[in-house]
Structure 1
Amino acid sequence: MLALVVASTFWSMVAYAGPLGNAVTLSAALDASAAGTTWVLASMSVGLAVTLLAAGVVADALGRARVFALGAMVFAGANVVCAVVGSTWPFVVARVVVGLGAAGMIATGLGLLAAADGDGRHRSTSAVWWSAAMGAGIALGPLLTGVLDLAGAWRWFYVGLALAGTLLYALAGRVLPVEPAAERARRLDLVGFTLLTAFLALLVTAIVQVRAGGPMLAAVLLGGSVLLLVALGLSQRRPQRLVDPGIFTHRPFLGATIAGLGTGLGIIAASSFLCTVLVRAVGLSTFQAAGVLAAWSGTSALAALALVRHGPRIPGRVQLTAGLVGVAVGLVLLAGVGDPVSAWRFVPGLVVCGCASGLLNAGLARQAVATVPGGLAATGTAANNTARYLGAAVGISVASVTAGTDLLAGWNRVALLAAACSLLAALAVAWLSRGERAPGVAGARTGTWRTAAE
């Protein structure tokens, strides 16, 4: 089961990061406009951000194994479409659906592992492997598309992803246990589910539209998302709700969620913008830029693996705080570049960010499950990752506005702003962790969790 969950995370991240390695070729092949190119690169992020939380809620209500298998099937089918379409918007829609399928696997994987083995040390080890798979997938995706691009075979990337999704679906039926109905959290709140999905869809679309150059449409979409958020809040006053509201008053859960948000606003947003800087200001190809960024993502995977033995001894809250502070230090090292600049100038800061990210991602995976009751493990994982991808969407949009026309000077501002976001998130996690006695295991595991009803 651990191997299956790790493989699903790895292939999801390969799919997520892949277009960074051949963005120019992909844009030309699909005849994409500037706005279309923005959507091509952002489409899977949109699918993940919009559906992760909903997938987690559905999984806790209807069964995690079912949602995992369905996610793998959707992932495979949507990648087949990506491999055969020849224009921008069908490709964008298919990539959004790829994100939906990946969300089904990401939201449920750690919850399935937690349900199978409640030992805290084993959960921590599982989180380390999950984190390593995430870093390795982000590192390999752009390199793989870059190599295929050199051979003029970019469509085979999506064929490979479809085959991987098919294999994951086949193995899910053999490996994953179907949870008894008694273990599921509650009946699904269809009204709340619909409003939540619609709210996130409008919000994320508005954020991406800012980058695509449509401020009026973005404002309309943002206004609609606010109305849907109000409606969602009103709907949760009914007896049947999406989740127990007590989860949002639980400090360790809030700390883990803020850490996820800080990760998106910080290192993920900065590294995504750095790819543009390396191509347009430094003069690298997208493939070469992906190789430079691997100093971050690859180091992250190696750092996570180094925690397999010692990670369980480090409290989860310490992993989050130290990881965020380390990322902030690395981002400061990445700032201060001038013209001309060599690509090697960025490597030391990326390595520091990678080491810190390995610790941070392992802590996020661990705390996402440990800070909620066992019946809401998928919801906890989904909430954490939703915060991460929403933070990334906001951070990348802010970076594009902050940078201006001088990319190198703009990069310095972006790096420092991302460092500030990481540091603020670290301070918030430290403040919310005051008085927490059980290292890495929140009240949901120690008996101090209290629902609103209690």
Structure 2
Amino acid sequence: MALPTNAARVSNPALALAALAIAQLTIGLDYNIVFVALPDISTIGFDPHQLQWTISAYTVAFGGFLLLGGRCADLLGRRRVFYTGLTLYAVGSLLGGLAQSPAILLAARAVQGLGGAVLAPATLSLITTAFAEGPQRNRALGIWGAAGSSGMVLGSLLGGVLTEWLGWRAVFFVNLPIVVVVALLAAASIPRDTGASLSLRSFDIPGAVTITAASTLLVLGLVQGPAVGWQAPVTVISLVAAAVLVAVFAVIESRTREPLIPLTVLRFRNLGLGAGIAFAFMATVGALPYFLTTILQDVYDYTAFETGLAFILPCACVLVGTVLGGKLASTIGLRVTLTASTVVAGAGIVLFAALLSVDGSFLSLVPGIVVFSLTQGIIFTAMYAAATSGLPDEQQGLASGVASSGQQIGGAVGLAVLVAVSGAAAAGQNPDVDVVDGARAASYVAAVIIAAAALLGAALRIKRVPDVVPAAPVDAAERSTETTPS
């Protein structure tokens, strides 16, 4: 069966990389941009228990459809799937900005999440197939990672500024001009998909439905656990059903002639380790903006605008870190880069926690913020390079979906666990003291988790690829021989 590919290198690498980087920035942006705007968003009729679903609706849809989105990029064409994701983002953003009720807003966030699930793996797989593995790809991933990782921090900045100046609806409308710019850049630089389009008859529909339902139920259970309790029926049923569906999916794939997700992909050692690092990354440094925002607004009495301005520093550090991550991966190798950066990230989070105090200020927290933000950028770039290392082109979309799923599930689990730890550490005597004590306890737990991820980095097996100029395209057969199965 001839699969749609992007085997030909992009016509304009710089322009294509700009399009893919901005697309990734949008994905990161939308994860955090509504945090600061939540108090204003609640005015359209949300009750306190519903409001968290403004975040969760995006997370559940994103995490639930990532594997399907990644495999569709491989099977249906990466450029086609890329534009589909952009369209979904535009529709969801427009719907969210015009929403007059909680139901419409939650539906809009779910559409945005679906757009992210389709767009994220298509974007990453376009990077990994357009740029040859090794230093060339590492440099591209550094720029792409700078946009994506900083987008998560930039979301807090823009969320505060836009909410303060233009109102909460602007946090949705801001995506529309960005999508238009990305679409135009991509049209001018990314070639059309080549090869025959996969027919619906040969598409593994049972596998697609099963794994999407399993992923959605898993993320739903992880998101609902902290809100309604881990022993609540909705939590238990969601998690148990997800486990059953994963088992059913494995049976379907083992008996299907053209499986959606070939089980042979499990042999790729680096993919599993990279996804594990992505999980730890998002569960820790990815959750810290939530606690920093809470400290600034609830303890230091920052306005939404002032909170947004405060995030300029971590955003700048993440930008530097992501570019540095690409360079380090090419010079000292991915294994050393990830092992060292996760340990240093843990140290930075410990420093941040130690500097927290009720009578403190943002300036007093700067040393810790600088350290963990720099390493956040380094890890973001290197973990995706590791997860996709050695895989053939026709499975790059799937690999991107797996790694992104690790990141999304890590975000859901990490935030749930750290919020629970924060709540348990609060003595209930003074609100400001409780917030600081809770954030400090959560930070210490996050530091342990991300430092432990160094073990995953040390277990990577990456074949060093010399920087050859010009870099010749690497065909699937050559790539597969570079892979070290576990």
TM-score (norm 2): 0.85
CA contact (8 A) 1:124 1:312 kept: yes
TM superposition shift of 1:262 = 1.0
1:238 aligns with 2:255: yes
Greater CA drift, 327-336 or 214-223: 214-223
Question: Could you say what secondary structure the match of 1:107 adopts?
Answer: helix
TM superposition shift of 1:395 = 0.7
CA contact (8 A) 2:389 2:483 kept: no
Greater CA drift, 411-420 or 307-316: 307-316
1:189 aligns with 2:214: no
What is the match of residue 6 of structure 1? Answer: 21
> In structure 1, how many angstroms separate the alpha carbons of the residues matched to 2:328 and 2:382?
13
CA contact (8 A) 1:334 1:349 kept: yes
Q: CA distance change for structure 1 residues 407 and 429 in 2, over 3 Å: closer, same or farther?
A: same
TM superposition shift of 1:177 = 1.8
Q: Map residues 372-411 of structure 1 onto 2, 5 A cutoff.
A: 372-404=391-423, 405=426, 406-411=434-439
What is the match of residue 140 of structure 2? Answer: 126
Q: Map residues 190-209 of structure 1 onto 2, 5 A cutoff.
A: 190-209=205-224
Q: 1:41 aligns with which of 28, 39, 55?
A: 55
Counterpart AA for 1:225: A
TM superposition shift of 1:282 = 3.5
1:354 aligns with 2:370: no
> In structure 2, how many angstroms separate the alpha carbons of the residues matched to 1:381 and 1:400?
28
1:107 aligns with 2:121: yes
TM superposition shift of 1:398 = 0.9
What is the match of residue 221 of structure 1? Answer: 238
Q: CA distance change for structure 1 residues 439 and 419 in 2, over 3 Å: closer, same or farther?
A: farther
> Which is helix-richer, 1 or 2?
1
Counterpart AA for 1:401: A
TM superposition shift of 1:450 = 7.4
Q: CA distance change for structure 1 residues 277 and 181 in 2, over 3 Å: closer, same or farther?
A: same
> In structure 1, how many angstroms separate the alpha carbons of the residues matched to 2:249 and 2:312?
40
> In structure 1, how many angstroms separate the alpha carbons of the residues matched to 2:243 and 2:133?
41
Counterpart AA for 1:373: P
Q: 1:428 aligns with which of 443, 456, 459?
A: 456
TM superposition shift of 1:444 = 7.4
Q: 1:68 aligns with which of 68, 71, 82?
A: 82
What is the match of residue 275 of structure 1? Answer: 293
Residues 21-54 of structure 1, C-alpha deviation per residue, up to 9 Å, x if partnerless?
32221222x2222222211133322232122221
TM superposition shift of 1:129 = 0.5
What is the match of residue 326 of structure 1? Answer: 344
Q: Map residues 9-88 of structure 1 onto 2, 5 A cutoff.
A: 9-28=24-43, 30-88=44-102
> In structure 1, how many angstroms separate the alpha carbons of the residues matched to 2:247 and 2:328?
45
Q: 1:341 aligns with which of 357, 360, 368?
A: 360
Residue ranges of structure 1 left out of the alignment (5+ in a row): none
CA contact (8 A) 2:36 2:156 kept: yes
CA contact (8 A) 1:324 1:426 kept: yes
CA contact (8 A) 1:69 1:173 kept: no
Greater CA drift, 245-254 or 415-424: 245-254
What RMSD, in angstroms, separates the aligned Cα atoms of the two structures?
2.8
> In structure 1, how many angstroms separate the alpha carbons of the residues matched to 2:380 and 2:477?
21
> In structure 2, how many angstroms separate the alpha carbons of the residues matched to 1:96 and 1:448?
39
CA contact (8 A) 2:24 2:144 kept: yes
> In structure 2, how many angstroms separate the alpha carbons of the residues matched to 1:143 and 1:383?
29
CA contact (8 A) 1:314 1:439 kept: no
> In structure 2, how many angstroms separate the alpha carbons of the residues matched to 1:396 and 1:440?
39
> In structure 1, how many angstroms separate the alpha carbons of the residues matched to 2:132 and 2:235?
44
What is the match of residue 262 of structure 1? Answer: 280
TM-score (norm 1): 0.90
Q: CA distance change for structure 1 residues 287 and 206 in 2, over 3 Å: closer, same or farther?
A: farther
Greater CA drift, 40-49 or 381-390: 40-49
CA contact (8 A) 1:317 1:439 kept: no
Q: 1:137 aligns with which of 146, 151, 156?
A: 151
Question: Could you say what secondary structure the match of 1:112 adopts?
Answer: helix
CA contact (8 A) 1:256 1:368 kept: yes
Counterpart AA for 2:481: G
Q: CA distance change for structure 1 residues 393 and 444 in 2, over 3 Å: closer, same or farther?
A: farther
TM superposition shift of 1:400 = 1.7
TM superposition shift of 1:385 = 1.3
Question: Could you say what secondary structure the match of 2:406 adopts?
Answer: helix
Question: Could you say what secondary structure the match of 1:20 adopts?
Answer: coil
> In structure 1, how many angstroms separate the alpha carbons of the residues matched to 2:227 and 2:303?
22
TM superposition shift of 1:313 = 2.0
Question: Could you say what secondary structure the match of 2:419 adopts?
Answer: helix
